[in-house]
Structure 1
Amino acid sequence: MSQTLTTTLGPVRLIGDNATPIWGMTNAERSRRMAESAAKNGSTLAAGHELLFNLAYAFDPLLLRLALETPGTLFVWGNAPIVGQVPQGSDPLTATHVIDLSDGRALYNRQLRKLEQPMVRELDPSTRRAIERQSYFGAYKGVTDLLTKYLWPELALVLTRIAAQLRMTPNMVSVIGVTLCLVATYLFAQGMYWTGFLSGFIFMVLDTVDGKLARCTITSSKWGNVIDHGVDLVHPPFWWHFWGTGLVYWGLALSTQTFALVMAAVIAGYVLQRLIEGMFLKDFGMDIHVWQRFDSQFRLITARRNPNMVILFVSLLFGRPDIGLIALAWWTMISLVVHAVRLAQAYGVKRSGQPIVSWMEQARP
């Protein structure tokens, strides 16, 4: 049994039927959204080809992206076709490039910066929650900070499920998060660090939830990405500045000269580090944090918002938010030096004629 959908991407053949919902929608609707999202992101089907989905299975969206890159590619599990770009009306198993994932092979996900075996599982009522959990964690970046990677994935999973059940869009979650981000900024300026931390903590968790909700429900949008990444990029220096001005309420205000030096280190260090990351991406076609294992490990603690908040939290525990801000400035400069050295080393490798390749791609079987 099969049916064909007409989508912006082109013809989509759905094999079988499946009434088991996943993330609040049928597998047929999920497949349609994946096809429309691929078209929106610029993917196309080769002439005379169609996209094929097997509704009996749920799978990692990475497989769809890889299938769209090469016409005639079909991913299978044993003898069961899963997803592929195949000639219209053909027997899918006769496709040019049939790749069996049941052998446990790992694939490199450049978008999420990780190397792992993509999810492929039969979808039925007994496996639904496990599949949702696996697809949620599959949407996590492999290279990120220590809080996002280790502290709140379980909490964000619960909130993502609740948001999906309530039919909330990622943009709704983002608006709530941005509001809390602004509240945290105000509270820091007033020296109300603990309540500011609570607002900031919820915002940071929701900053994970909106992205996971978008990926799991296939509902990302251009403006949603702009809001999400724009706020992430802009707000940290404001938090550190107003943390500094709020010290006056604790009787720990920094001298004018010290405050100026700290702000210069924090803001200039943050901006320059971002510029270095942009230069690496432009010149080498990949994120600086996936070049070698050291870079991926250093991303856990580099001077971004979340690791910096750990520094400030520890300083609050000891009643010295002033020392925390100074320590944050020093860590920002240390992180900047590390990134600058890594960029220089990459240029040196390039001049020697060697390719700059991610250690994750080198690790592929």
Structure 2
Amino acid sequence: MGVEMHQGVAFLGVGGNDVRVFGLAPVERARRIAAKAKLAPVDRVPAEGPVIVADLAFAWDPAWLAYLRDHRDLAVTWRGRPALVHCADAAQAQAVIAAIETGAPLPPGLAIQDAELDASLYNATLRKRENAYLLPLTREAAPVIEKASYDASYKGVTDILTLYLWRGAAFHLTRWAAAIRMTPNMVTTIGVALCVWAFFLFWQGHFAAGLLVGLIFMVLDTVDGKLARCTGTSSEWGNILDHGVDLVHPPFWYWAWGVGCAVPAWGLGFAPHEFWTIMVVLVAGYAVQRAIEGAFIAGFGIHIHVWERIDSRFRMITARRNPNYILMVLSLLLSRPDWGLVWIAWWTGLSCLFHLVRLGQAYVARAQGREVVSWLV
């Protein structure tokens, strides 16, 4: 089994199937997923060049296409039936199509990978090693496939709230959004409006309402990404808007929270020098954490959060918006929202220190001749 660049690899779905997944017909969903995998969907076998032939009687994790595109002469099967095959040329593709349609043997020269026995793939985009699903697409199996598709779209290394608190709720919202043909950009736009609303609620000292609105925004921030991956409908503008808002808004929330502490209903305002010291720590710490993450990617080609197991575990609680949200909730439960801002400042500083030490340790490891790679690979 060889490995090749995926430039110019075509994708062809064959067979008939009318069972929908997330509201999409199999051929439509398959072509969208293929395009996201940087394959070129076609309607017939191309005259020349490699092509991945897919049996539309199956549904599969998008990770399979990313894997197949880089592995020449590989057939992924399910109980002996070919489901996804990377064919080197038109003749091989025609032979594979005949095997799918008639049950004839696959042509010689193909390596076989049984998806039931060997489905462990590393997804660099989602920072996780996963058992990629590949299942017959039937009406009875459609709900199972939708759940598997949703789970496959989840980042393996993320914060504790996203991973555990609203994972189930976000799945049902994703299914509902797909059923009514909402696009990820629509969900993102609603989320942005809620994000701005939460800012004004914090500013006015309405912390409980702001936290509720912020919680809904954070859930939708999960839904839009999952909807995009499950339906293959992400766009460049949507990615910019989603990630841009994620990157920019947390410092504004903290500023508004600090101002809200001073409203008469609370009377917990900070002295000017205290408030601006906290804000400098929060903004600078937030920027430094992002810079460290970028430096690690530039230096080692992987996210700092997937280097070693401790990095993945610390990502669950590091000073990002969602873990910081827990501190905000706890401070409100104690009727001391001002403490929440102080806690977040301290936690931001400690998180920066942790990541800075880990960056230094990675450089030391490389200087000692050790390879810096993800523990998930």
For normalisation by structure 2, the TM-score amounts to 0.89
| CA drift at 1:78 | 3.1
SS in 2 for 1:360: coil
| Cα displacement string for residues 161-208 of structure 1 (whole angstroms, at most 9, x for unaligned residues) | 111011010000000000000000111111111111111111000000
Q: Secondary structure at the match of 1:219?
A: coil
Q: 1:173 to 1:314 in 2, by over 3 A?
A: same
How far apart in 2 are the matches of 1:46 and 1:153? 45
1:100 paired residue among 114, 117, 125 = 114
Q: Distance in 2 between matches of 1:109 and 1:60?
A: 11
1:356, distance to aligned residue in structure 2 (A):
0.4
Q: What are the within-5 Å matches in structure 2 for residues 172-191 of structure 1?
A: 172-191=186-205
The alignment status of 1:70 with 2:71, answered yes or no, reads yes
Query: How large is the Cα RMSD of the aligned pairs?
Result: 1.8
User: What is the number of equivalent residue pairs in this alignment?
Assistant: 351
Match of 2:228 among 194, 208, 214: 214
The CA deviation at 1:98 is 2.7
Aligned equivalents of 1:89 and 1:20: distance in 2?
A: 30
Q: Which stretch of the first structure deviates more once superposed, 215-224 or 8-17? A: 8-17
Q: Which one-letter code corresponds to 1:59 in the other structure?
A: W
CA distance in 1, matches of 2:328, 2:285: 17
Query: Following TM superposition, by how much is the alpha carbon of 1:79 offset from its aligned partner in structure 2, in angstroms?
Result: 1.5
Query: What is residue 3 of structure 1 aligned with on the other side?
Result: none
The one-letter amino acid paired with 1:287 is H
Residue matched to 1:49: 50
**SS in structure 1 at match of 2:72:** coil
Q: 2:367 is matched by which residue type in structure 1?
A: R
Single out whichever of 207-216 and 23-32 deviates more from structure 2: 23-32
Deviations 1:97-134 (A, max 9, x none): 33222214421111111112101111111110111011
Q: Report the AA paired with residue 179 of structure 2.
A: Q
| 1:85 positional shift | 2.1
Residue ranges of structure 2 left out of the alignment (5+ in a row):
1-6, 41-45, 97-105
Contact 1:68–1:84, Cα closer than 8 Å, also in 2: no
Mapped pair 1:33 → 2:32: yes
Partner of residue 327, structure 2: 311
Q: How does 1:14-25 map to 2 (within 5 A)?
A: 14-25=13-24
Taking a change above 3 Å as real, the CA distance of residues 149 and 199 of structure 1, as seen in their structure-2 partners, is same
Give the C-alpha shift of residue 68 in structure 1. Answer: 1.0
Tell me if structure 2 keeps the 8 A contact 1:9–1:38.
no
**Paired residue for 2:61?**
60
Aligned mate of 1:281, from 297, 302, 305: 297
SS of the residue 2:84 aligns to: strand
Percentage identity across aligned positions?
47
- Structure 1 letter corresponding to 2:273: Q
Q: 1:253 aligns with which of 269, 272, 280?
A: 269
Aligned to 1:348, the other structure's residue is in SS state: helix
How far is 1:73 from its partner? 2.7
Cα distance, 1:122–1:348 mapped onto 2, change above 3 Å: same
**TM-score, normalisation: structure 1:** 0.92
Which one of the candidate residues 333, 340, 355 is aligned to 1:324? 340
More deviation, 95-104/240-249: 95-104
Counterpart-to-counterpart distance in 2, 1:49 and 1:107: 22
Distance verdict in 2 for CA 1:123–1:340, change over 3 Å: same
Q: Does 1:192 align with 2:206?
A: yes
Distance 2:325 2:47 in 1: 48
| Residue from 307, 317, 327 that aligns with 1:301 | 317
Distance 1:46 1:257 in 2: 71
Distance 2:299 2:52 in 1: 34
Runs of 4+ displaced beyond 6 Å:
none
Q: CA deviation at 1:46?
A: 12
- Which among 80, 83, 90 is matched to residue 88 of structure 1? 90
> Structure 1 residue 9: deviation in Å?
6.4
Aligned to 1:360: 376
Q: Is the 8 A contact 2:293 2:303 kept in 1?
A: yes
Kindly indicate whether the alpha-carbon contact (under 8 Å) linking 1:280 and 1:288 is maintained by their aligned counterparts in 2. Answer: yes
Q: Is 1:272 aligned with 2:271?
A: no
Counterpart of 1:294 in structure 2: which amino acid? I
1:354 Cα offset (Å): 1.1
Deviation per residue, 1:250-273 (Å, 9 max, x gap): 100011111111111111110000
